[in-house]
Amino acid sequence: MLAINVERTASKGIAIGKAFLVERPQLKKVFDIIPDQEIATQIKRYEEAVHSAEKELSGLVAANAIFGAHLEMVKDIALYEGVITKIKDEKKCAEAALSATAAEFVFIFESMDDEYMRERAADIKDVSHRLMCILQGVKSNPFEGITEDVILIAQDLTPSDTVSMDLTHIKGFITQEGGITSHVSILAKGLGLPALVGVEGILGKVKQNDVVIMDAKEGTIILYPEDSTIQQYQNKIEEQRRQQEELAKLKTLPAITKDGRTVELCANVGGIKDIKKALEYGMDGVGLFRSEFLYMDNNHFPTEEEQFAIYKEAAQLCNGELTIRTLDIGGDKALSYYEFETEENPFLGWRAIRISLELKEVFKAQLRAILRASAFGEVRIMFPMIISVEELYDAKEVLEECKKELDREGISYNSEVEVGMMIETPASIILIEDFAREVDFFSIGTNDLTQYLLAVDRGNKKISHMYNSFHPAVLRSIKRVIDAGHQNSVKVGMCGEFAGDERAVKLLLGLGLDEFSMSASVLLNTKDIIRSTYYEEAKELADKACCKQTIAQVYNILDIHR
């Protein structure tokens, strides 16, 4: 028996199954240099492959919105012209031209500082692989013939993979590459399947059809398990199933403590499909609608009408508040249709509200769309990355300008729409009392806040262990925000990953957090913890934790062991 400890749990759960090692179709490497008279033929071959890929992807968009982005990549003029130029000028055949152009795009994405954008290189690889399979007449689905319970083990898994496979017998995912923002992580959570990512060397330690146990709750993989170990984990899986059945009974119940304090449990979403999924878990509303996906999964700045259609549908679907964060991209989160200048440190560069205030017409199109949608539900507007009161004034001024335009045009909207801001920078913490007099609500973004407060790049493996939201500086900052908000009748929520961390729920409850916003899959577990807790006891716990000087001391107070 061999036990492997894993740091990156992408989606929690326990599974047992035979190893299914994903073997990709063998594509021929083609480096042919073609004669002039062959150029037109190779261009036609590539254009036909693009047309076929468009048809395939159009059929997949309904299964997962990410294929909309893949469809745009196939159509992308830069990719198309790159391939055609190499065919014409360098006399490459279609396969060689595609391979060289895709490699250039992959290099650009993998060189970006932001983890999310680095992992979009996988999309480029996925799209180019699809095109290459079409060019060579090779089937691109390596998942045919799975007839028993398996755990998929791969170098990496793409969105196309997860749609191509029959999920009936898929019990979990293990990948050698990838991070917590990779597609396999996002999709595994959506599917409710366990996933472990970034497991170095796993492909060299397991063979096809070996029995594998994965415990994505504790971060453990067990190879060559003994019968007694298999039975032990089968019992755990049965217990896990019973727990899920019990949690499902909480769906329609409020998130209320034993002594009567009620909080809101909301979901972080990227689109309509996420909202529908979160409703199945009994969400109270949407605490974070990531509007940037409307921009990133497109080949142009989405128009006011395009955005309005999405926001309106979202508002009508929600059974509570819909908090839409305005465009939150940066120099490290590129848009295929807009050229950003290269920045030495994009996390401290031109991003989020700074971009919106400079690209005023783009900002106004979004604000008008959000305002119009506010006539159809409890819509709230949230500005990201605010560091000064002047910035907030400027953003609100543009909002007022949009309201006046809609008034003149006779278009309905909620004139009392609530306006809030993300708390994710040290500046926003220091000026929190000033901000509390200017907004209706705060939402604490612990992902960036922790990174900025501790000066730790969470994507840097060398120091990622230092990135910890239980750090006393982070906890005291959270407390300061909540206290300032409540003193000024400002509602305080949290939409960072910390809000859905079961180890932190009682602490955040005790600090007085009004709204927890998280991935839909952890809503019911969080509700269970809240309903099992006395608020007064949680307050005592939080007070003690905030007085501690080290993370270890905080862990001791909270009884955290890992």
Q: Which residues are catalytic?
A: 183, 495
> Which one-letter DSSP state was computed for residue 466?
G
How many other C-beta atoms are found inside a 10 Å radius of the C-beta of residue 107? Answer: 11
Determine which helix (DSSP H) or strand (DSSP E) holds 44, and give its type and residue range: helix 39-60
Of 478, 522, 482, give the one whose Cα is nearest residue 502. Answer: 522
What DSSP element (H or E) covers 171? strand 170-175
Place of tokens 């901000």: 435
For residue 213, give Cα distances in angstroms to 148, 175, 194, 550.
Answer: 15, 14, 11, 35
Three-state DSSP class for residue 433: helix
The Cα–Cα gap between 472 and 115 comes to 26
Residue-wise DSSP of 406-443: HHHHT----TT-EEEEEE-SHHHHHTHHHHHTT-SEEE
Strands 195-196 and 9-11: antiparallel
- The H-assigned helical ranges of 259-317 are 272-280, 292-296, 304-317
Structure tokens at 501: 């961390």
- Tokens representing residue 55 in the block: 């048809």
Sheet bearing 170-175, strands edge to edge: 2-5, 220-223, 211-215, 14-21, 150-154, 170-175, 195-196, 9-11
Q: Which tokens belong to 467?
A: 């990135």
Question: Is-contact 506 538, C-beta < 8 A?
Answer: yes
Alpha-carbon distance of 492 to 426, in angstroms, equals 17
Largest CA distance in the chain: 82
Euclidean distance between CA atoms 305 and 327, whole angstroms:
16
Q: In 10 A of CB 40, how many CB atoms?
A: 11
Q: Are 317 and 276 in contact (CB under 8 A)?
A: yes
Which helix (H) or strand (E) segment holds residue 87: the answer is helix 77-89
Closest Cα to residue 546, out of 463, 460, 451, 482? 482
- Which residue in 30, 4, 6 sits closest to 562, CA to CA? 6
